Structure 1
Amino acid sequence: MSQQQVVDYFATRPEGVLKFTQGALSKKLSKKGELQARADQNPSALSGKRARVVTRPDVEEALWLWVQKMEKKNEIVTGPMLMEKRKRFEELLHVPEVERLNGTGWITSFKQTYKMKERRRFGEAGSVDIRVVERDRIAKRRILARFDKRDQFNVDETSFFPSAPPERGLSTKQMKGKKKNKFRITVAVCCNADGSEKDKLIYIGKSKRPRCFGKKDPKNMRPALYYRANKKAWMTKELFEEWLRKFDEKMRRQKRHVCLLLDNFSGHDVEYKPKNVECHFFEPNITSYVQPCDAGIIWCLKAHYRTLLYRRALELEEQGEADIYDIDLLTAMRLLHEAWNEGVSAETIRNCWRHTGISPDDSDDWEDVDNSDVEMVEDDSESTLHEAWRVLMAYATSDWSRSQAEDELKAVLQDEFNPVDWQGPLNAVMECEDTESAVEAVNSLMPEFTKTSSHDNPSSPSHAIRAVCADLKKAEEDFMACVQELHDRKRIKGDMPPIEDLLDPPEEREDADSEETDHWSEGDKGLKEIAGYVEQRWDATGQLRLADVDEDEEQEEEPYKINYSKALEAARLLGEVCTNRGDFDNSFDLGKYL
């Protein structure tokens, strides 16, 4: 088919006319190789008029393949994760130092190019199936029924920035030219169900011998501190196995057999099989509903710690210090120790365990429930309505479509579901521009439920248990009083952010996501597989190999063009060849045809 025939076909196409000239088509076909290369680099490369300039398209393709891999696992990819993985791909693809990107400006254009959505993640509630939550609650009740409350334990880790000031949306006064101290540690929390035992906090940093420790070993300090270190300041299998062995030995000495509940973080999957500790894992992505430490205990720890931190900042401000939020690791660990042992009460811990609904005492008829029929778990209409509002909150904090939300509501309410009753709340969520405003909309629509229910808001433990946990409410009030005083003293400026952002800063959430998904991505092996595939498509300079650009065999070839001077030169050369061969007749006649 000729180019003109293609133009004529689209000009009269029955399903829709598409008009363009033969010249425009020819111009596009002449650039097919370039356009194909752009399309191979990313899925939306041809949506703009100009090609996006990419320094190393091979690295970008590897990064995009990794993102797709994570999306298939239903994992959220954050900015810090993109930066970390880009650095690793630059190493694997042997990118010269001068071509590596050190800043963060490229992240925005990368997300725009690949149509990546920015989502705020509240715990893990965004991707929760309510029926899975109920099934796991039932399973845990049956397990825990074999243990006394004092023998029911939960351990969980959280990412932690000890010196993080209350600056979400705020500008802080700082010493000119001084970099902000934003070191990160991991803190592991372990406690039992009746709050009678709070195990020693585990601190994981990056330096084996931080300068602030001096020559002292943390375990010999007062108070004694459990500190370990690795390159990324994350909980690893080795560190967790070391702790589990110590915990198992402690239970053996006390002649106790206990249950230890864990999330499905791969760092908890160790070869060691304890004899006095029975380990059980929660289902994936539901720990904000069923894990006690994730349902308010860690939140309360952070509230008490940051209250102590900001009281210290107020004291430093009165002493004339400029950088009032600066704190070293040892001081931060001691404040955390104080917050854990003196701030987080046994009552708070008991209420957080009760809030999850996994304790046998929280359900009188749980033994009679058929585990295969999750929708019929709770006959009480009030509890069912609470579950429906939790579905609405999950809709507000995830990328569910409206039809998905309606299907979940139908599954929970069954015959009681009336589309008219839920039209207003569903519309309110849809009209919100971001997750934060959607959560606020849901909270504003169910004030009565937040006062009476212990399962009302999966996005924020403080909202969910505030009514039944006076200690936590008091801790939050003390914390906000410190923040307000700092604001009044002009040590922080701007509009006050919500307490969720102050006690659970975005960088801590993102870093926790990065830690978990780094293990889920099968570590370096998976990255090397991606890099190997990319190396087959791109050369060492980051240019797409020609073999990967398939040219259309039916494309019309343009005639070879030669100017007059080149033609005369060609005639002269041919004449010389003819003369050398003894063909004198043709050697003198070639030029006359020009």
Structure 2
Amino acid sequence: MTGNEELNELVYKWFMDACARLVTVSGPLIQTKAKKYAEELGLTEFKASNGWLESFLTRHNIVFKKQGGERGEVNPTTVAKWLDQIPSLCEGYSPEDIFNMDETGLFYRESSRSTFYTKGEDCAGGKRAKERITVALCASMTGEKLKPVVIGKARKPRCFGSISVDKLPVKYYSNKTAWMHSWCFEDWVKSLDQKMRAANRHILLFVDNAPVHPNITLRNVKLLFFPKNCTSVFQPMDAGIIQTLKLKYRKRQLAHVLSEMDRNSSQTGPEILKV
């Protein structure tokens, strides 16, 4: 058996084990595991390329099951009018002083709802994890990033240990739903106003037109609200920034799944994500 044949056999056995344990298997997860096996076998030139992945999937009759998403409708007239107004709305502000903020929900114990599986076999999974947090990101046109906001349910989650909430690299809030509330937004934007006042800066902050974003008057931060139901068109954070954050999180999650699978051979996918 050649090196690559042995590698493919190991990856396939691992894949079957992952399916039996209800682990959600994505292409990057298979490629990451293949690279680990290649290192163990001394196959220094093996790259786990997309071409190798496609060949591996075809050879073992593995297919990908994907679920659809949702898309909203946007009024084109509203879009056109708003685009015409943007230059005048931003007048007097340099690009480094024009910011955008948006929130997203993160089901941090959830994996992809799509998975590779052997064609003809059952594609049932385990119970979906529902634990979520809210993450809010804010950045300027020139790439200046402000400290992210994270909203959880617990006032001080056990995972924080002895770390003080004030020492975290994020601004942390908590409430029963782990959602953005108007008091959270108001506290955050007022602290941002104080920060800009200390730096002698005046900034323009674009946010969604949502009930949890109250229109309050500030000294150094001017709030500007996007038109209703137009987030998918106007929201810069939805143009790949939030997606990139989630992809980076999922990449670390993949490494955690592989590590836990190797450490404990009896754990199922849902159990691994709870660790």
Q: Look up the equivalent residue of 2:209 and give its one-letter code.
A: N
Deviation of 1:220 (Å): 2.0
- 2:208–2:225 contact (8 Å) kept in structure 1: yes
Structure showing greater radius of gyration is 1
Q: 1:277 aligns with which of 211, 221, 239?
A: 221
Query: By percentage of residues, which structure has more helix?
Result: 1
Question: What are the superposed Cα offsets for residues 217-255 of structure 1, whole Å, 9 maximum, x if unpaired?
Answer: 23224xx33211111111111010100011001111110
Corresponding residue number in structure 1 for 2:193: 248
Q: 1:210–1:172: structure 2 CA closer, same or farther, 3 Å change rule?
A: farther
Counterpart-to-counterpart distance in 2, 1:301 and 1:198: 13
TM-score with structure 2 setting the length: 0.66
1:162–1:327 Cα contact (<8 Å) kept:
no
Among 122, 129, 138, which residue is 1:190 paired with?
138
Residue from 70, 88, 97 that aligns with 1:151: 97
Q: Which of residues 38, 55, 70 in structure 2 aligns to 1:121?
A: 70
Matched, 1:167 2:113: yes
Tell me if structure 2 keeps the 8 A contact 1:260–1:277.
yes
- The equivalent of 2:240 in structure 1 is 296
Number of residues paired by the alignment? 199
RMSD of equivalent CA atoms: 2.3
Once the two structures are superposed, the pairs formed by residues 57-456 of structure 1 within 5 Å of their partners are: 120-122=69-71, 126-168=72-114, 171=123, 181-195=129-143, 197-221=144-168, 224-270=169-215, 272-320=216-264, 322-323=267-268, 325-327=272-274
Structure 2 residues not aligned, in runs of 5+: 1-67, 117-122
Q: In the aligned structure 2, how far is the partner of 1:172 from the partner of 1:225?
A: 37
**Aligned partners of 2:165, 2:237: CA distance in 1, in Å?**
25
CA displacement 1:160-198 (0-9 Å, x = unmatched)? 101111234675777xxxx76431111111000111x11
Aligned counterpart, 1:583: none
CA distance in 1, matches of 2:125, 2:234: 40
Which protein is richer in strand relative to its size? Answer: 2
Normalised TM-score (structure 1): 0.32
Change (3 A) 1:138 1:327: farther
Instruction: Tell me the equivalent position of 1:35.
Output: none
Q: Secondary structure at the match of 1:268?
A: coil
Letter of the structure 2 residue corresponding to residue 121 of structure 1 = E
Per-residue deviation, residues 465-504 of structure 1 (Å, max 9, x unmatched): xxxxxxxxxxxxxxxxxxxxxxxxxxxxxxxxxxxxxxxx
Report deviation, 1:315.
2.3
Counterpart amino acid of residue 212 in structure 1: C
CA offset digits 1:355-386 (Å, max 9, x no partner): xxxxxxxxxxxxxxxxxxxxxxxxxxxxxxxx
Cα shift at 1:320: 3.0
1:201: how far off? 1.1
Paired AA for residue 70 in structure 2: R
Q: 1:277 to 1:163 in 2, by over 3 A?
A: same
Relative distance call for 1:203 and 1:327 in structure 2 (3 A) is farther
- Indicate how the Cα distance of structure 1 residues 137 and 327 shifts in structure 2: closer, same or farther if over 3 A, else same: farther
**SS at 2:212's partner residue?**
helix
Describe the SS at the equivalent of 1:266. coil
Whole-angstrom distance in 2 between the partners of 1:131 and 1:166: 36
8 Å contact 2:134–2:180 — kept in the other structure?
yes
Aligned to 1:543: none
Percent identity, aligned pairs only? 34
Secondary structure at the aligned position of 1:127 is classed as coil
Distance 1:173 1:149 in 2: 47
Once the two structures are TM-superposed, the CA of residue 318 in structure 1 deviates from its matched residue by 2.5
Q: In structure 2, give the amino acid aligned to 1:266.
A: P
Quickly say closer, same or farther: Cα 1:169–1:314, change in 2 above 3 A.
closer
